[in-house]
Structure 1
Amino acid sequence: MQFTDRLLLENRAWAAGIRAADPEIFSRLHQGQAPGALWIGCCDSRVPAEQICNASPGELFIHRNIANLVDENDANVMSVLEYALKALEVEHIIVCGHRGCGGIQAAISGDEALAALPRVESHVGQLRQLVAVHADELNRFTQLGDKVDHVVELNVTAQVERLAELSLVRESWAARRAPTLHGWVYDLASGQLDDVVSRGPADADAIPEANGWRRAAS
């Protein structure tokens, strides 16, 4: 059986199981969505947002890209953010990184393999700026894996701070005192999520130094 054929069969089994537990669920979902959170996560196949949170269909509005980055020049992530805030009025935005992230490792090690992946190389360029700013701090790590995991935490913090600076978020804070921003890290080895940082409307006038690397490098 081909892999894609198996996926289609599994879909039928999944849908039947969901209907057995809640016969009206698909009828309700067909009427519209009201997710509680926008999830900005990494594309890594080992980090399925709904599954690791045990979330039901309709609870998470999801955007994924390599290394879970927020880039004002990326029309994809910005259109998702705009829709989540203005149309869906989500109460939370979660930026979720994961330990052992390949995008982070490439940014640290300057992986030569990225030479054949110019779009990926361009995408993770901002991570190299983050690594450069924290170079002295990172030098205390002797193992690459430990360094990668530390940058994963620095990165989710930087992306949360970047969100906090965006006019879309600040306008929403002023209008409805939401959303709350969260930076989480998923541990592939344990399957558990760690809460690293959060920001809310009360932080609107306090731009932390953690995101200074972006402004300085711009």
Structure 2
Amino acid sequence: MSHLTFMVSQLKSTKFISVRALKPPTFSDSGSRDYGVLVAESFTDGDAYVKAFNNNNLWRRSLAETDPDLFESLGKGQFPQILWIGCADSRCPETTILGLKPGEIFCHRNIANILVSSDINSLSVIQYAVQYLKVKHIIVCGHTSCGGIAAALGNKKLGLIDTWLMPLRAIRQENLTLLDSLNETEKGLKMVELNVRASVKVLLANPIVIDAMSERGLEVHGLIYNVGTGELRELDIEEDEQVVKSRVTAFKTED
């Protein structure tokens, strides 16, 4: 019996106690908030893992039939034209949403697709994608029913997550009058949009991005994905020429 076969057999014969993930905050029209509860539940096999692992064979065989040279090509390197900056939400898989294949998107995902100029993680991804992979497009994509957005609109203590959500809370503070004039559904959607716009603004002030835009026409896009319909909507992020010039003057760096 191979080591893997033994592991799978152990998974099938072992009873686990799992903790269901904390349900993201949701908002009703009345303004009440449901933050969910931690629920322990029993299951008798490793259903999700075993299914996912076994699906790999089906997936690669199917893909090899439709595109026989794909995996050989991927083994030689990657040449994506798109950098996707999105949310870690399980409902927002970028390659699936865009109907693309492995190797076509370089991606960075985190809770609520937050982008700040001090995050070394995201900055490293951006630099690698722009300077070395030479992507032609950067997409910042938010989505409806985002748990991070809902949490930022609430005031419940969430521990370490509160630190991560600080940029969202700052956006909320800056737009408090506007947000308070909206109902809960509209408020959530507006926050998603404001967050995408804020992340786009961070990108456009990145010296590496500035250089690539002026030297080879790199384009930046802001999108919102509707998890209830599967539809993408593009935001208008066009700027006045004077705004662009002033930003380049302030943020562009020279060797």
TM-score range, shorter chain: 0.7 to 0.9
Q: Shift of residue 126 of structure 1?
A: 0.8
- Alpha carbons of 1:165 and 1:124: their partners in 2 closer, same or farther (altered >3 Å)? same
- Alpha carbons of 1:86 and 1:164: their partners in 2 closer, same or farther (altered >3 Å)? same
Deviations along 1:109-155, one digit per CA (max 9) or x if unpaired, are 1233x1xx31x21111011111111111112112x222111110111
Alpha-carbon contact 1:184-1:197 (below 8 Å) kept: no
Q: Shift of residue 176 of structure 1?
A: 2.0
Corresponding residue of 1:128: 169
Q: Shift of residue 172 of structure 1?
A: 1.6
Corresponding residue of 1:150: 190
Alpha-carbon contact 1:170-1:204 (below 8 Å) kept: no
Match of 1:181 among 201, 220, 223: 220
The structure with more radius of gyration: 2
Q: Distance in 1 between matches of 2:212 and 2:79?
A: 17
Corresponding residue of 2:148: 103
Match of 2:204 among 164, 168, 172: 164
Secondary structure of 2:220's partner? strand
Does residue 194 of structure 1 match 2:194?
no
Q: Distance in 1 between matches of 2:246 and 2:149?
A: 27
Alpha-carbon contact 1:66-1:103 (below 8 Å) kept: yes
Q: Distance in 2 between matches of 1:36 and 1:147?
A: 34
- Counting only pairs closer than 5 Å after superposition, residues 41-56 of structure 1 correspond to structure 2 as 41-56=86-101
RMSD of Structure 2 on Structure 1 (CA): 1.6
Task: Give the helix-richer structure, 1 or 2.
Answer: 1
- Alpha carbons of 1:29 and 1:199: their partners in 2 closer, same or farther (altered >3 Å)? farther
Letter in 1 for 2:196: V
Q: Distance in 2 between matches of 1:54 and 1:183?
A: 18
Q: Distance in 2 between matches of 1:45 and 1:172?
A: 31
Runs of 4+ in structure 1 off by over 4 angstroms are none
Corresponding residue of 1:141: 182
Q: Distance in 1 between matches of 2:244 and 2:134?
A: 18
Corresponding residue of 2:11: none
Q: Distance in 1 between matches of 2:82 and 2:244?
A: 19
Alpha-carbon contact 2:84-2:107 (below 8 Å) kept: yes
Q: Shift of residue 199 of structure 1?
A: 5.3
Q: Distance in 2 between matches of 1:81 and 1:171?
A: 13
Corresponding residue of 1:89: 134
Q: Shift of residue 52 of structure 1?
A: 0.9
TM-score with structure 1 setting the length = 0.87
Q: Between Structure 1 and Structure 2, how many residues are aligned?
A: 200
Letter in 2 for 1:160: V
Q: Distance in 2 between matches of 1:31 and 1:197?
A: 37
Give the gaps of 5 or more residues in structure 2: 1-44, 248-255
Secondary structure of 2:245's partner? coil
Q: Distance in 2 between matches of 1:151 and 1:66?
A: 14
Give the gaps of 5 or more residues in structure 1: 208-218
Corresponding residue of 1:216: none
Alpha-carbon contact 2:84-2:108 (below 8 Å) kept: yes
Q: Shift of residue 206 of structure 1?
A: 5.2
Alpha-carbon contact 2:117-2:202 (below 8 Å) kept: no
Q: Distance in 2 between matches of 1:159 and 1:31?
A: 33
Does residue 30 of structure 1 match 2:75?
yes
Q: Distance in 1 between matches of 2:62 and 2:228?
A: 29
TM-score with structure 2 setting the length = 0.75
